[in-house]
Amino acid sequence: MSAELPSPSASRVSFTTRATGSPPPSSTALLTDRYELTMLQAALADGTAHRHCVFEVFTRRLPAGRRYGVLAGTGRVLEALSTFRFGDQELSWLGEERVVDRATLDFLARYRFAGSISGYPEGECFFPGSPVMVVEGTFAEAVLLETLVLSILNYDSAVASAASRMTSAAVGRTCLEMGSRRAHEQAAVAAARAAVVGGFAGTSNLEAGRRYGLPTIGTAAHAYTLLHDDEQSAFAGQVAAHGPGTTLLVDTFDVTQGVRNAVAAAGTGLGAVRLDSGDLPTLAQEVRDQLDALGATGTRIVVSSDLDEHAIAALAAAPVDSYGVGTSVVTGSGAPTCGMVYKLVAREGHDGTLHPVAKASTLKPSTGGRKSAGRRLGPDSRAVEEVVVGGPDQAVATWAPDTADLRPLHVPLVAAGAVDTRFTGAAGVELAAQRHLASRGELPRGARRLSAGDPALPTVPLLLDR
């Protein structure tokens, strides 16, 4: 089988078990904004730093034209918690730059998140107002995580949301992530992971493969063909090195001659050909006809070249087996962030109880109080609404649906500082990819339309009275 193209049945990804599940150890503590630390200094000084607080992550709206979002990055947030430590280097720099005072540096030297985190499982679809993550602890513990949580969830969810639209448009055909060269080198790893959460079957990025056990793909670029004296010798060399199941890039010069040369080099058992330019719908049909006429009826066709979900949908009638997507997926296909925010919704008062707090800012309001969430299903098991649960704090904290048609959405992720490792590493990505398939599968059929429209589900409140 070609290293370029996993089996067409690989809509579910098969993960290796050798992946480490985390990047090389380094502190994530300074991946934050200065005001998180300056707020901490002021709160330590005025005695409010140790008040118990609840923070909530949500988005007020979906990007224009999107009908649902896909939560991704949860596993990376949990992994980042283990290295959110202020070591000697971080503390020395903060002191030299006079970012915070000595008392705050002493606090940071001892910092460990000992609170709790719950939220939607990674891969779950979300909508405006969905409380996708809830972070609970002292103000000092929880406020420091704001920037890190948002930078991970906003980027990864944007990529996964775009990837989901692409895999939906592909209607069972394989999508492959090839966008590393269009992103920051570390963002490329995160993007590959998020694309797989959104349904992609593999990535060209080797670090993503090593770190998260993702299937890696890729054989040759045009440079390999141009290195040789002619296309025939290039193809012969590639087949000799990788076997006839490889994928040959046939559009460096003339596509028709390229297909002839490819079959001549590999025989009718050639794994696949790749098209990276031109009028792809027309070329794909011409190449399919040519391959069949040459007896290479099992040779698959991979197409690339600046694809997005709309281009993939336009190729639905073409004889294409796999799509290689680069720039569009790693940039969120026009929506590079999900607009998620991290807001304080409840804090301990002088009486020792939690009180709802909320912003009233114009166009940027928040709703006070702890939230939970469920998804209501209709008789056909299709979702009909997103239910956001509010009310007295203890009632919300212990809420469970009392009807079979309401599926709870929150799961515990961190308890007393201890991370549930089921959601991290390679196993966490596989779990997230499976969750997304199930979650997207229960959405109304119109949710998959690429045309602009309202969110696929309305978000409705459910207020508890006790």
| Confidence (pLDDT) at 20 | 53
CATH class of 218-322: alpha beta
Domains of the chain: which residue ranges?
34-150+339-366+410-458, 218-322
Residues of the chain with pLDDT under 50: 1-12, 17-18, 23-24
Residue 3 pLDDT: 43
pTM across the whole model: 0.94
Q: Which fold has domain 34-150+339-366+410-458?
A: nicotinate phosphoribosyltransferase (3.20.140)
Specify whether the CB–CB gap between 137 and 346 falls below 8 A.
no
pLDDT tens digits for range 183-226: 999 999 999 999 999 999 999 999 999 999 999 999 999 999 99
Angle at the Cα of 177 from the Cα atoms of 171 and 180, rounded to 5 degrees: 160
- Outline where DSSP puts E strands in 247-382: 247-249, 272-275, 300-303, 322-325, 340-348, 354-356, 372-377
Per-residue pLDDT tens digits for 56-108? 999 999 998 899 999 999 999 999 999 999 999 999 999 999 999 999 999 99
Distance CA 373, CA 362 (A): 25
323 and 310 Cβ atoms separated by less than 8 Å: no
State which amino acid sits at residue 53.
C
The residue among 461, 456, 466 whose CA lies nearest residue 65 is: 456
Count CB-CB contacts under 10 A for residue 99: 15
pLDDT for the residue numbered 9: 39
Tell which residue, 427, 439, 438, has the closest CA to residue 78.
Answer: 427
Contact 56, 343 (CB under 8 A): yes
Q: What is the pLDDT of residues 115-128, one digit of tens each?
A: 999 999 999 999 99
Q: What pLDDT digit, counting tens, does each position of 16-41 carry?
A: 544 555 544 589 999 999 999 999 99
